[in-house]
Every structure is written in structure tokens, then in C-alpha cells.
Structure 1
Amino acid sequence: MLKEQIIQSLNAVREQKPLVVNITNYVVMNNTANALLAVGASPIMAHSQQEMAEMMSFAGALVINIGTLDSVWTPRMSFAVEQANNNDKVVVLDPVGCGASQLRTETSRQIAASANKLIIRSNASEIIALAGEQAQSKGVDALDSSDAALGAAQFLVSEYGANVVISGATDYVVTKEQVVKLNNGHEMMPFVTGMGCTLTALTGAFAAAGDETGLAAAAVLGVVGEIAAEKSRGPGSLQMNLLDELYLLDENALLERLKLS
């Protein structure tokens, strides 16, 4: 049944072509915009408070990625979340580097607390730090396993009323109702910068089309990464092939390759 739901979500994104507003970091803007286009969504990288109220009145979801955080960005993010709340839209939070600095940790918690409809997509160390536990990280890179973050993820579900996606060698999607384990993807994927950010952006697209758990995006990127890696010599060609496979992904590939429980 979960596989069918994922396929239906992919079809919905391609049919609806939802607009996804991204306040994201400078490193990944091009990558994430191209990934959204490839899967069938419509990206806009909107950072100005002057247009945010209007933008969130017709956009499908808001993605907040704190990767290149500073004092200028923080109030913009807070204002954007307010507008998402006013329009009953999902906020997808990527707390990049949470735990690496007090600024990132406090900002992540403030955004999480202020969003009415929230999905948190992050690596294990960031999830653990966001929950207030001691995490092992090096900058924005996780040193904790996805399994180690399950308790922290369940705390965040309870604390913020959020759904949580832990990405890593194994992905977990944690909601109030269930925990889904995904074992797709490829070991080459962490060598492409912004792969997690790409998942966050895709999570926004699927949320805009009705999947507010984060499951469909994680499943799709895992399968696509697997297929793309088989055709790639290294991280450079993987990045290119990933976009092609996102664009070409069909129902049969999902049914054949998805490993979930």
C-alpha cells in the first residue's frame, strides 16, 4: 500500500506542477531548482519579505534551508513561516549544521516552534542536536547513524507536531502513526554537495501535492540515486544522471526497486 501511495504522489506532482518557495542556501540553489523541475514541480528561490505574503498565498509549500545562515536571512525566514501559517501551507525545515553552532541550533528550534504544519528533513546528527541531545558532527556532516537518531526524531514529532525524515545510509520517515525504513540510495551520493538539500526541496514538492509525511520524496530520491549511480563514473556524472533519472522515473522502477518496511 505504501508503494502505491508513493506512486500516486509522484503522479500528483507531475500533474499539479506545484510551486515551491525556497529560502535556501547559496551553495545548492541551482541543484535544488533543477531537481524540482526534473521531478515535475515549479521552483522559485524567493528571499524578499516584500513579496513573501503574496507568494505564499498561491504557492504549494515553503522550504526553509539554513545552510548559509546570517542575521539578514533569519527575519526573512521567520516572516515566510508566518505567511505559510496564514495560508495553511506546509513548511519543510532543513536545519543544516544544527548543533555545529549556537546560532544554527537556536534558529532551527525557533523555526520549528513557529511552523503550524511542519516536516523536518535532516541528517541524524542534526536531528539529535535539534532534539537537545549530544550529537556527533563535523560542520554540516553527520557522524551519527540514522538508527541513533530515531529516539530524537520521535521527540521532535511530539514536541513540534512534525513529521521527520532522517536521511543517511538508511532513511527513516517518522510520523505519529508509524516509522518507515528505506534502504535505497548509493554510497556515492554523499560525495555530491547538497544531496540532502535536494531531498528537502523535493519534500516540499510532494508536500504541496498532498504527501505531508516526507515518505514519497525520500523514496523517489533513493531509487533515483541508485539508478543514477549505476550509470555514473563518479560524483560529477552522478549529479547529471540524477537529474535525468528524476525526469525519467516511472512506476515500474519504483515498484521493482523500493526497499521499505
Structure 2
Amino acid sequence: MPDFEGKDIAGRGSAGNGIEGKVVAITGAGSGIGAATAAHLAARGALLVLGGRSEERLRAVADAITAEGGTATAVRVDVTRREDLRRLTDAAVAAYGRLDVLVSNAGTMAVSPFDELRQDDWDAMVATHITGLLNGIGAALPVFRRQRAGHFVNVGSTAAHTVRSPQGVYAATKAAVTVLTEGLRQESGPDLRVTLVSPGFTHTEGIGKGATPEAAAALLRRRDEIAMPPSAVASAIAYAIEQPPGVDVGEIVVRPTAQT
């Protein structure tokens, strides 16, 4: 029998887990899925650059990681601003000499019925989910091309698959994330990887924030009934990242078993 002891199928040493030593930037890292992903990846040896709008929350996440022996730095980032995303990717390259993964996770869920005409909320979802995603691509793609390696992980939603009132605008922006991710994958070539992770109902504090009182109450009830923990999404993201070179996980849909 061939001796495979000490090696995995990619020929790496057994100590390697496909994540250890990778430089990963995460947007929306101050809470919820982003914070859970940061903690999960840090525990597996990733070098993290955390982006988000709240410096206080980012520092708290980074401090918790470093207290456990991990490596994380915080950069204030508003994904709607191109220069902020460039600052995030530049920080990774300055600190570690490269960027291996960009996790585009920043999101907002200010849902409301169309008749309420909450156009500022519509604009915020478009700016965060669509413009923000494009800003991340614009910042990271040149870095990945220079390296001839890199991985985009874009966080979408099962709302892109099943539209439910009053989530029409939210679902539309997440459908755009799906389309943009597939388009990027087709153009990425053999050196880059592109993954869409589409979570279902996840127990985060952002659920219902900015929504109408009625919509928020319904979302919170549903969250408390069936939502899965953010760690489930973090595990899905880690699965995509840990694959050996040349293997691209195109999409992962992860949802509570009780979600239809």
C-alpha cells in the first residue's frame, strides 16, 4: 500500500489544514457572521484583517482573538467607499506581504413593504450589498492578479432563491450578489477561486434593525424560532477556504432544517 502518512490529498503536511497561515480580510467583522468567521478562522491559524464601521466592535473582536493566541488587526471600513476597501487590502499586504482571501460579508436588512417608500433604506441595501461588493472586487482583484492566487468569498442569502414579502429589495440585492459572483467566477481564470455562501435564517443582532416595527417583530419572532448560529456559516466559509489549490467551491447554501 502506498505510504500516505503525514500527507493529505493535496500533498501538504498533516499539520496543514488549508487555512493556517492564510491572510484573510473580512468585511462586516464586528458582529454576527463576520465576527464568528473571524474567530473560527483565527482558531485554525489564519492571519486576519478585520473591517467594519465600528472601531470599538472591531477592536473587541480582534482583542478576543489575540487573547486566544490568534492574529488579527482592525481597520475601520465603510464598504460603500472605494478608498476604504483599498485601505483594507493595502493593510493586509503591508502587514503580511499578501492577501489570500477576501470575505465580503457586510450587510444590512432594513426590510419594509414597497408602499412605505423607504427609499433611503433601499439605497443603503444597494450601496452595501452591490456597490460594497464591487468595491471589494475592485480593491482585491489587482492584488490577486499580481499574486496569481486569491479567493473571493461573497456572502449572499437564501432570500435570493425564495422571495418573501416584505423582503423584495433585500432579496433583489442578494440576487445581484449571486449574479456578480458567478460572473466573476467565469472571468477569474485558473489562478483564482470564487465562492458564494448563501445563509438562511441566522441568529444575529442585525435581524430587524432598520425594518419597520411590524417587519422587525416578525423577523425577530422567526429568528428566535428557527435561526441557526453564525458559527454554522463560519464553518461553511472555512470549508470553502480550506480546499486544496485548484479546487473551487462555487456555492454553499446553509440554512436551518426548519426553514422552508
TM > 0.5 fold call: no
- Measured against the shorter chain, the TM-score band is 0.3 to 0.5
- With normalisation by structure 2, the TM-score equals 0.42
Question: Rg: which structure is higher?
Answer: 2
